[in-house]
Structure formats: C-alpha cells, structure tokens
Structure 1
Amino acid sequence: MSGNIVPSIVDGNVPIAGLDQLSAHLDEAIQDPDADFKPKLFDDVELQLTESNVPPLLPTLLPKLTTILLTTRKDPAVPVSLSLRLLRHVSFTQTLSLADETALITAFNSPAPSANLLAMAVLHKATTPADIAILASMPRLLEHFIRRWLSAPQVEVGERGTRVLGDLLEIDSQSPPLRIPREAITVNGVPWTNGSTNGDHGNDELVDIHKPRGEGVLWRRLTHNVDLYNLLVALPLGRDISGEVLDDRQTSLAQGRLLRLLPRLALRDFDLVTQPPPKPSDDELMGGVDPEAEARQSGLLQFVALKMVDKSDLLMHLSLIDFFETLVSLLRVRAKEAGSSSQHIVQTLREILLVALRGDDELRAALKRLPDRTVEEEAEDLRLFIASVVG
C-alpha cells in the first residue's frame, strides 16, 4: 500500500488503512453512476478485514455498497467482492436489514453475473427453518431468483443457483434426513457430492439426525403459488410466464440445471418431488386457462424425467441418460434406508422408467452397464436394484 494512506481506527481494533479514502470513493460512485471503480482502494481494505473488525463497518459501508449496486451503470464486480467479504459473518436476518427485498430483486435483474451471485449468496445465508420461513414469505424475490437461476446464460450463476436452491429445500424438508454412509456414495464409480456449500454435511459423515426438521414452507410456496410453479416448469420448456421466449441454448441450460437438482431432492425427500402440486383455483388463474396444466398432472420429478427433454436433441438426451444413472444410483441408497417406504420408492421409480425406456435403447443399455462402472462393493446391490425397477 502507498505510504500516504491514513489508517482509520475501527472500534478500537487495529487501524484499517485506506478506509476513509474508500468511503469517499463510494460517495463519489453514489453521486455518479458512470464513475469508474478504483479496484486498489477496495483491495487495500478487503485484505485487512477480519471477523472482529467487520461488524463496526457494516452500518457505514454496506448501505453505500447497496446503493451503488442499485444505481451503477458499470460492472459491479469490484463492490460485489467487498460486499461478499463483509457479509461472510452476518446472519440472514441481519443481511436483510442491510439489503432488503427490493435491493435483492434489483441484483437478480442485473445483467452482471457478479450481482446475481451476490443476491444468491444472501439467500444462501438462510440456514435454519426460521430463515426459510422468512424467505418463503417473499414470493416476488423467489420469482426473480428462479428466473435468474434458470435463465442466466452464465454457467457459474446456474451452478450457484442449483446449489442454493438444493440447500434451501434440504433445510426446509420435513422428512427425516438420510443417514449417508461414511463411505462415499458413487455414481458411475465416481464419488457423488450433493453440492452443498452453506455448512451442510458432506458424504463422509453421518447426518446429524437431531437437527431440527424444516416445516415445508418453501416447497409449498414453490408449488402452491401459481406463478412460481409455472415459472419453474415453463422456463425449461423455452418460455417465460411473462411471454418471453428462450433461445435453444438457454432452454438447454435451464433443463440441465433441473436435471442436476432433482436427483439430490429425490434422495433427500422422495415424496416431495413425486407428489403433484395442487390445482390452482379459478381466482388464482383469474378466469383464464392454466398454461402448465399438463405439468401439474404429476410431480416435478416425473415432469423432468418424462416431459421436459426432447430426446431428438442428442446432447440433451445424453444429459437425460446421465440424470437417470444418477437418480437410480441415489435411490438405491434411499430405498435401502426407507423401511416401509422402500416399496413405494421402487414402484414409483419403476413406473417412471416404464415410460422413459419406451423406444430408448440407449437409456436401457446405459442402465444395464451401470453396475459395471461402479465400485466393486456396490455393483451387485446396484445390479439387483436396477433389475427390480427395470425388469
């Protein structure tokens, strides 16, 4: 750092050099949305941040950063990086007091992926059933999150959205958690990870069965709210409920994101993803016709597995085969621990595969070869399970 930067004392801690200069720069950026950011000022302060000196900075820096993210016409990557660093040790409810629903919606609507990722990071801070209940009470925010997750052209935004939504729905689940074995679950012989990034367990440890279960409020919001559920199933079909049409590439990306999420949700809560959502009332449809009525006839898992992908698209067909390989591998583990529910899982999966395998020799061959590609100690169990659901 340059020698002429005057340190600022923060709450009696070690001085943060360059803090006053950064604060002044933020004021300039608020006044002029076209102002260029000075990365060095941000970097100098960010490198000095610690868990102890961040809290006193939040009331002064975060409101300014939030205002900038709402108004700047420049790429917000630099202020977003600092915002993420400041929010690292802040709870979900504290974050909402500093960046409200409107600010988060604006971030989701931004064309800048850094702003999208920041908004997703805020949602990812919801780590308790109480946090999830707060989030579920904001359907407009959820709508913008779902839309950005499925429609963003950037791979990193899609991947983060898949992890965030998966984690939120796991916390919200009312079902008892799977007691994942200490040895890794494998798919195609490769250790499978659930993509969790907000402090949840890994596959090498048993799930804490004493953790409080969720209340199912987020899932009910996604399935009972007509606009949210229609958005969830319409975007992977290439259309938005707003009337906008997605191009082929973006439609494929949206489908791929759901194909990656659903096996994880099925492993965590099979009933959740196989039950049809409630039919909307005439009042909810405002006297019109439900454009996604066909998708509502079955659960989300059946929609994704059987109705979403055009098998004439070679790449998406390969993605669908990969989806089924993952789904079958994971449900073998779930059925093994499901007790009296085991037969329900096997029967439902059998019904799905009965339809999926019609005229699909590639899928049938892939499932037949799947035990040969897994680890030796799991191969025979997997072979028997596949025989029970494929016949």
Structure 2
Amino acid sequence: MAVPSSYDEVKAHLQDVLVDPSTPLDISLIDKLKLELTETTDRRVPGTLLTLISQLLPVLQEDPTPITTLAIKATTYFSFTDIRSVEPPIDFIAGFKAPSPPVNLLALTLLGKAGGIPSDAAIVAGDPELVASLVELWLTTTSTAVAQAAFDALWALLEIDLASPLESETHTHEAEDSTGGQGLFWRRVFTDKNVYGRLFSLCSLTDNEPDARPQREKTVSQGRLMGFIVKAGHLRWDLISSSQIPEIEAKYDTSSILHFAACRMVDKTDFLMHMSLLNFFRDLLEIEAPGLRARVYVQSVSTFSSPALDFLISHGLHGSVLELYLDETKLDIVDLQYTRGPIMAYIAQYAELYPNHLLQNPSSLLDKIVSRISESLAISSAQWAHGQAPAGQLVILASLPRVLLVEAAKHGVNPLMAVPTSPPCREALDALAKILHGPRKLDLSDSMELNTSGHTPTDWHKEAAAARVLYFMYLNDHPNFWTDIVAAADILAMKDVSLAAISFMKAVITANWQVLSGEVISPVPASSRYQLPSEEALGTLSPAAQGLLPSSGGWAVLTPPALTILLPYLFKPPRSYAEFVAGGAGDTQNIVWKVATAKYEVLVALYNHLKETGGQVTGFEDIVRTLRQRVSEGPWGPVAQNTARVATIGKRRDMHTVYMLISKLWTSICSAVRLANMSRFGAKKGRKLPGAEFSWEADPGGEADTAPTPLFPRYNIPRARLLNPREQKQVDHYRALRDRFHDGPYYSVLQSTSGTARKDEATRAHFDPFHGMPTYSGKYQKQKRDRPELKGRPYVMKFFPRQLWKTIQPNFNPSAAMDGYVPLGPRIGVKRGFEDEEDEHDVEETKRRKGVDEDEDVEREEREEEGDILDPDEDQEEEIVDNDFEDDEDEMGGDYNAEQYFDAGDDEYGDDGFADGGGGGGDEDTY
C-alpha cells in the first residue's frame, strides 16, 4: 500500500485550516492529492482524510466543494463497512441537514454505498431517523443535483432490499429479479409512521401548519413523489396501491399513496402540475402492460388489462382523459396549450400497450378516435412542408392496432391514406415506418400468445398480416410514394427528413409481415369486426396488372415499383463533401457522413435479408455476391477517381451495372415465385405478373437516368409584381448612371484576366466556361482593363503634387515649351481599356499575315529608348495579346483554330479566297 507524496502536506494544510478557519484552502495542492489517490493507496489515508474533513466542515468559512470532492475521491474504493469503521463515526443526519449542497452530496455518496449489499441496506433500515432524514432531504431540497443524488441513494437501498416475490401474495414480473433482500427497507418506508407520513405531509397542499413550506416548493415535491411511485409500482404494486397506515391516509382523505398522488395531491387549476399529472398517468400504463401477449399470471380484470389500467378506470381517470382528447373545448385555452401533448401521449400509450382493450371499446368511441385523427390530418401541403404537421395525432395513428386501420379502410375513412410522402415531413415518415414495419417480435419467455384462446380481436400474427395489407393499400393509393421517399432521402439540406426517409426504407426491408393464412383471417367468435381480407382479395391491390404479392418487406422492395427506384438509389455512390461550401467545412453536423452511414445500413439489411431468404433460389447467387461486394466497400462505396471525368464515367458504369442487376433480379424473382408458388392465385385467368410493364426486353436500349438529384424539394418561386411608372423611371435612371460608371475611363474590373493569371490553378477553379473561353468573335468585343491606365487621362496637373507629375504623365518634360507638357501622339501597340479595338485588329491582322515579328521587336526597343516608364506588371496588362488561345490550340493538334480556318487557303488560291476573282467560283471540287 502506497502513501501519496502530497498526503502529508495536505494533511498539515487541513490541520492549519482547522486551527485557523480564516486560512484559505490551497486548491492546487488538494487537486494534486486527488490525482494521486488510487486503488492501491494505503487504507489509512482515506480514513484519516475523511475524519479530518468531517471535523473541518462545520467551521470552514468558504466553499467546501474542494474538500468534499477530495473526500468522495478518497472513499471511492471504500465499502459501507469501511465507512462505518471510521472513528469518530460519520454523522449522516448532520450531513443531510446541512444547508450546503456539497456537504449533502458527500453524505449521500457515503450512504449510497449501502445500496450494494442487502445486509448494509438492512443496517440503514434499522435507523428510522436516518431514513426519515433521507426522505425529507429528497423531497425538500432546492438543489436538483442533491435531489437526484438522494433519490438514487433511496432507490438503491430499495432495489437491493427487494424481498423474494414468494413472501408476498401479489407481485409483479419485475419483482421476480429480486436480490435476496429481507424487505426491511421497504417496510421502513411504507409502514413507519414517521417516514410514510412525510410522503404525505411534504406534498400535500392542504397542510396548513405554521411551518408549512410555500406551495411552489410543494409542487416540486409532488413531481418527485410521482416519479418515485411509478418506479416503486414496477417492483411492489401492492405497497403503493393498498392501504399501509390507515391513520395517516384518513387524514388526507385517501386510501393509498397511489390514490393520494393521482386524485388528491395535485391542484388541476395549475396547468403545469396538470400536465405533470397526465404524464404520471401515462407512466402508470407501462406497469405490467400486456401488449400483444398475455401474462401467465393475472392480477387484473382480464388478460387485456393491468392493475394500473384498472386503477385508472375505476377512479374515472382513464375516461376523463379520453373525453379531453375527443372534446378539447372542456379545457381552458391556456391549459390546452400545455396539456394537449400529454393527453395525446396518454392516448398513444394506451393504444400501443393495450390494443385488445382498446378494440373492446364501443364502436362509436373508436369511430370518434379515427375521425379525430382524420380531421387533424386534413391540412394543406404547405402546412406539411413548413413544419406544422400534427405530430401528436401521427403518434396516435402509429400506435393504433393495425387491424383497426384495415377495418376503417372498409368504410373509406382510413386516416393512413391521408399521410403524405410529398412534401416530405419527418413526423409523417416516422409514422408510416412504424405502421408498415409491423409489430415488434415477441419475447415469449414469460408470456403466452393471445391467439391461443381464439377470442382476441388482434394478436401478433394479425398485426403482422395487417401491416402487409396496409402497405399494399398505401402503395395502391400512392403509386409514386417510393419516388417521393428516394427524393426525400437525397435532400441533404433537410437532415431530419433525409434520415427519416432512409429509416423508412430500412423499416420496410426488415418488416415483420405475415401471409394471410387461414388461421390469421379466421373470424373472432360472436364478432364480425376486424376481419382481414383473404390473400386472393388482397391481390386486387397489386401495383401491377393483378398478380403476385411479395410475402415479406425484403421481397417488396425487390418488386416494382420499388425495384426500379429504391435499388438504384442504394447502389448510387453517396453524396460528397464537395457539394458543401468550403469542401465540407459547412457541414458542421456531419450530415454527409450520417446520411451515407444510414444508407449503408439499409443496404446491409437488404443483403442480410437476401442472404437468409434468397440462398435457396436459383439465380440469386450473383445478386447476393454483388450485394456482398458493395457491402464490403463500406459507407463511402468504391474509392473516388482522381479526375471528374473518370469519376463520371465510373458512376455511369456503376449505374449500368445496377440496372443490369435489376433486370436479372426481376427475372430471378419471377422464376422463384413460380417455383415456390408464393401466391397460388397469381397465374389464374391469364393475369400478368406484377411488373410486366417494366420489362427490360421492351426497351433494351434504355439508358439510366444519371441526372443529378435536386438538393431541395420543388418550390414555386414567387414572382414580383410589375413596376409602376415611377419605379420604372427610377430603375432606368439607376441603370443609366451605372452604365456611365462602367463605360467611364476610371472603372476597374477586380478579377484578373491576364494570361498569366488564367494559368493559375486557383483561378481555373473559378473559370467561367460560358464567357471565359477565348473565341474568334471575341476579338471584336470591347474589353476592359483590370486596373485603369494612368497615362493619357485628362488630368489637371496642378491639383496633384509635382512629384507625381512624371508618374501620371510619363511624357512630362519640365524644359518643354508648354510648361512641361508634350503633345500626346498615337502609341503603336498600346491599347486602352476603354477604346474600341476594331481598327487595331486590322493592323494586327496585317502584321500577322506579313510576318513582321522582327519589326515588332524593333518597335519595342524604340519605345523603350523613348522613355516609356511602364513597370513590368503594367506593361503585361497593357499589351492585351491573345496568345494563350493560339498556343493551347496548337499544342492540342489544331482541333479548332478559327484563324487557320479562314486563312488556310491563302497559299493555294491567293488573296481572294478561292481564286475566282470575287466572282463566286464554283469550278473547284469543294465539299
């Protein structure tokens, strides 16, 4: 065991502070010791520090956080037994009552170590004052951190002390995972008057004692108590739902702690607390909810219900929430804004966790729920597009039993058909994905299937079959929905929508579907409702000309229309960072990577499905092999090519391979369906196979659509109104003034267009392919300089310092007769940016025909002798010579040379072109 090097120094420092509390703490020294404390530290070091700190805390005159965190770090490897062995003993109650959150956290941390062993929890349960102080600190503290730490310590003690379920007549499934405790701490909390009474008194609004706390603090305590009751109900429903101490419960006009919290404690006129109460009801529904299975033991009225739901129904709480959902006028407008969400969340929770209980309600109530959802979904496309979707109603729709939606479709009021895929909406896509994916797979380790009795409106198999039916219903009503899904998935600017669309793809591929067999569609005795259609009746919903329907989601995406839309998208290389500003620097949320990864996961899911179901089908080996190759390439696909042209060719080849794969895949699917006889009604009465209209043999020369996918959804661009005469006059004046500026001698073009600059790599990145390429006709266009020329301007020299006269007027001569001014003459070879070059072009053309390169050199030397003081850069800009175009074209082998085209016949025919003397010719053999 090692002793930290700074231990003695810290110990001496803390003793000095204990002697003189005004001495400031040495924070750096204490932090150094924290780093040196490890598991191998001498066991005497933490004990000594803990004793010293406990003595120092009552007299310390500054923030105790440094030394309390030191004590927590020192006792990290201490057990509760080690802490109890410290002398003098730790006073936990004093730590709880201290008006300092750091001290409270230290005491709670030390007490929380008793939650690891049942025997330690039993020791704590033997001290009623300690438990009462813990409960009081948890409910009354104003520090959120202290309240959470107190609840964690309290719950750890309850959880470790959970007794065996055999000791009680009633128990829950969660209670079966008991830790072998004696239940002493549970009895201390729920049967001790001092402790149990605090749960009521600290949260009751009717307690008008002189030292009563403010109502605001009590509402905070109420929220903490409701959370505790929900967690305790999962382990011991009997303790929270039955009377424990009638004397205390009668004082608050209640029968149990659960009844007190649900019916007596909360003031519903406080809309925030009303919202918390509704959330409390929703959380209670999770306790022993049956879902699509039935427990082997039953504590509720039926296998469709639970003790929590029975409690809510018996006290009228469940019915009141349903009424508030169906008729919102019963709530105040302000209250409704806060409670609408919790009310919808409760309805969704009830529909999802108690599907058979919901279906046993009167048909009038179910029709009202369906109509309520349909009305909320009847909104404009603009509302769907701009984030005003009814999210709460969509959650309820996704939670309803699927057989109820199929039943509603028989009456033409299926709200699922009102959910759009265009414009894309994240909430709508999430709801569609949940409904069409089917029910979650059951874990039947502790339950039995509900259909064993044959008297249930729905079960797992019916829900799985109904999900498949709803998919083809929706596809039949929205034939372009796969196109909309793929388009939404490719909109990187709307990350949430893109990821939701990709999640929808995965939900369909991995869907839990079931074929409509005889057992699934068998009617429920004494009821004609919720009857699913037969497989042959479902064939009328085929997207093709009546035929086979896939039996699973993986097969559904491999048949038209998904086959020709979804598969090319999955094989298409992901978007790159180059499509963002600054090469990906603008993608601060890693949208490109998230979308590429999600898309890759869909491809992996499809590969796994084909590997499991397609291995026994002839012709699927090549398809699985191709998918395996794409999966092995990772989210980014094959390595990007070096040049844009090669990359484009590579993408086209990849897409060609994909379409060839689709053609082969569809042929294999049709063959497999015939051999496996997936659906026996498909080949009758001369019906065509689905997708016959998409045959590749009908269009063997078709090309893949390689056009780029738009980044944003379609949007009608608003058009401005026409200008009135006054506005039009202002615009004309502005344009005229702007043109005068641009055509004036002092206007400058900022971007460089010199021959040297154009060859720079950075400049080529901003090259304009429409107007930047030199052409023959461009020689006649007016050109502008990058910077204005100083020479030849009508300057008034007296307005400038004399030192600049020679610079702005190079021909200035102080000894000249006209006070230094020399008349300006035409300068050969110098072009002004504001002059027309039409006349100069004739001169240059003549020079080029006569080959006067030597004369140009002589003229250049003469200009230099005359004192032309142009700096090299300005001279380069002065001489606007179109040499780049000629050099580049000559190097390219003369693919296109306009001058050579017009002048190529000089040597053969003479100066007049075809040597016809200007008479039109016609004797030559020309083509």
Tell me if both proteins adopt one fold, taking TM over 0.5 as the criterion: yes
Match among 257, 264, 278 for residue 300 of structure 1: 257
Q: Which of residues 209, 213, 219 is equivalent to 2:186?
A: 219
Secondary structure in structure 1 of the residue aligned to 2:238: helix
Does the 8 A contact of 2:284 with 2:308 survive in 1? no
CA–CA separation in structure 2 for the residues paired with 1:139 and 1:69: 25
Q: Is the 8 A contact 2:279 2:346 kept in 1?
A: no
Matched, 1:323 2:288: no
In 1, are the aligned partners of 2:96 and 2:133 still within 8 Å (CA)?
yes
Q: Offset at 1:158?
A: 1.4
Kept after mapping to 1: 8 A contact 2:241/2:256: yes
- Residues 361 and 273 (structure 1), Cα distance of their counterparts in 2 relative to 1, 3 Å cut: closer
Instruction: Specify whether residues 101 and 108 from structure 1 end up closer, same or farther in structure 2 by C-alpha distance, changes over 3 A only.
Output: farther
Identity of aligned residues (%): 27
Residue of 18, 21, 26 corresponding to 1:38: 26
Which AA in structure 2 matches 1:254? S
Distance in 1 between the 2:288 and 2:30 partners? 47
Mapped contact 1:28–1:35 kept (Cα < 8 A)? yes
Deviations 1:34-71 (A, max 9, x none): 44322212110001111111523123211101212244
The residue aligned with 1:251 is 218
- Structure 1: distance between partners of 2:81 and 2:253: 34
Letter in 2 for 1:138: D
Counterpart residue number, 2:628: none
Shift, 1:372, TM fit = 7.4
The equivalent of 2:160 in structure 1 is: 171
**Where do residues 125-204 of structure 1 align in structure 2 (5 Å cutoff)?**
125-126=113-114, 127-176=116-165
Task: Give me the whole-angstrom Cα distance separating, in 1, the residues matched to 2:60 and 2:210.
Answer: 28
Kindly report which structure 2 residues correspond to 1:240-389, keeping only aligned pairs within 5 A, or say none: 244-279=211-246, 293-295=250-252, 297-332=254-289, 337=295, 339-343=297-301, 346-347=306-307, 349-355=309-315, 357=317, 360-361=320-321, 365=325, 369-370=344-345, 380-384=352-356
Cα separation, 1, equivalents of 2:6 and 2:344: 61
- Code of the residue aligned with 1:64 in structure 2: it is L
- Equivalent residue number for residue 21 of structure 1: 9
Query: Which of 199, 221, 225 is the aligned partner of 1:232?
Result: 199
Whether contact under 8 Å (1:277, 1:296) holds in the other structure is no
Report what 2:560 is aligned to.
none
Query: Match of 1:122, SS?
Result: helix
Q: Pick from 74, 81, 105: which aligns with 2:69? A: 81
Alignment length (residue pairs): 339
- Residues in 1 aligned to 2:276 and 2:313: alpha-carbon distance in whole angstroms: 16
TM-fit CA distance, 1:265 = 0.9
- Map Cα deviations across residues 214-254 of structure 1 (whole Å, 9 max, x no partner): 21211211233222211121111258898521112211111
Cα displacement (A) at 1:349: 3.8
Q: In structure 1, the residue corresponding to 2:287 is in which secondary structure?
A: helix
Counterparts of 2:26 and 2:360, CA distance in 1: 62
Partner AA of 2:117 in structure 1: T
Report the 3-state secondary structure (helix = DSSP H, G, I; strand = E; otherwise coil) of the residue aligned with 1:330.
Answer: coil
Farther-moved stretch of structure 1 (34-43 vs 139-148): 34-43
* Closer, same or farther: CA 38–238 of 1 in aligned 2, 3 Å: farther
Aligned CA RMSD, in angstroms, stands at: 3.5
CA contact (8 A) 2:163 2:179 kept: no
Shift of 1:388: 8.0
Q: TM-score, normalised by structure 1?
A: 0.75
Does structure 1 conserve the Cα–Cα contact (< 8 Å) formed by 2:139 and 2:224?
yes
Residues 101 and 227 (structure 1), Cα distance of their counterparts in 2 relative to 1, 3 Å cut:
farther
User: What SS does the aligned partner of 1:98 have?
Assistant: coil
Unpaired stretches in structure 2, ≥5 consecutive residues:
166-170, 326-340, 366-927
- Structure 1 residues 105-143: Cα deviation after superposition (integer angstroms, max 9, x where no partner): 111111111111111112211122211110011111112
One-letter code aligned to 2:311: E
1:66 corresponding residue in structure 2:
54
Do the aligned partners of residues 100 and 265 (structure 1) sit closer, same or farther apart at CA in structure 2, a change above 3 Å counting?
Answer: farther
Give the Cα separation in 1 of the matches to 2:17 and 2:71: 15
Question: Alpha-carbon deviation of 1:279?
Answer: 4.1
Higher RCO (Cα < 8 Å, 6 or more apart):
1
* CA displacement at 1:274 relative to structure 2: 1.6
Amino acid at match of 1:111: P
Q: Measure, in 2, the Cα distance between the counterparts of 1:341 and 1:300.
A: 19
CA contact (8 A) 2:203 2:221 kept: yes
- Residues 272 and 53 of structure 1, relative CA distance in 2, 3 Å threshold: same
What one-letter code is carried by the residue in structure 2 that aligns with 1:244?
A: D
- Residues 238 and 347 of structure 1, relative CA distance in 2, 3 Å threshold: closer
In structure 1, what is the Cα distance between the partners aligned to 2:301 and 2:97?
44
**Residue type matched to 1:383 in 2?**
P
**1:170–1:265 contact (8 Å) kept in structure 2:** no
Is the Cα contact below 8 Å between 2:93 and 2:133 reproduced in 1?
yes
Distance 1:220-1:208 versus aligned 2 partners, 3 A rule: closer
2:224 partner amino acid? R
Q: Are the structure 2 counterparts of residues 244 and 372 from structure 1 closer, same or farther at C-alpha, using a change threshold of 3 Å? A: closer
User: Does the CA contact (< 8 Å) of 1:332 and 1:385 recur in 2?
Assistant: no
Where 2:244 maps in the other structure, the secondary structure is coil
Asked if structure 1 preserves the Cα contact closer than 8 Å seen for 2:233 and 2:240, the reply is: yes
Matches within 5 A, 1:114-125: 114-125=102-113
2:323 and 2:213 map into 1 onto residues whose CA distance is: 28
Q: Flag the structure with larger Rg.
A: 2
Structure 1: unaligned runs, 5 residues or longer: 1-10, 181-206, 281-289
Q: Secondary structure at the match of 1:80?
A: helix
The structure-2 alpha-carbon separation of the partners of 1:238 and 1:41, relative to structure 1 and needing over 3 Å to count, comes to: farther
Q: 1:87 to 1:278 in 2, by over 3 A?
A: same
In structure 1, C-alpha distance between the alignment counterparts of 2:276 and 2:343, rounded to whole Å: 17
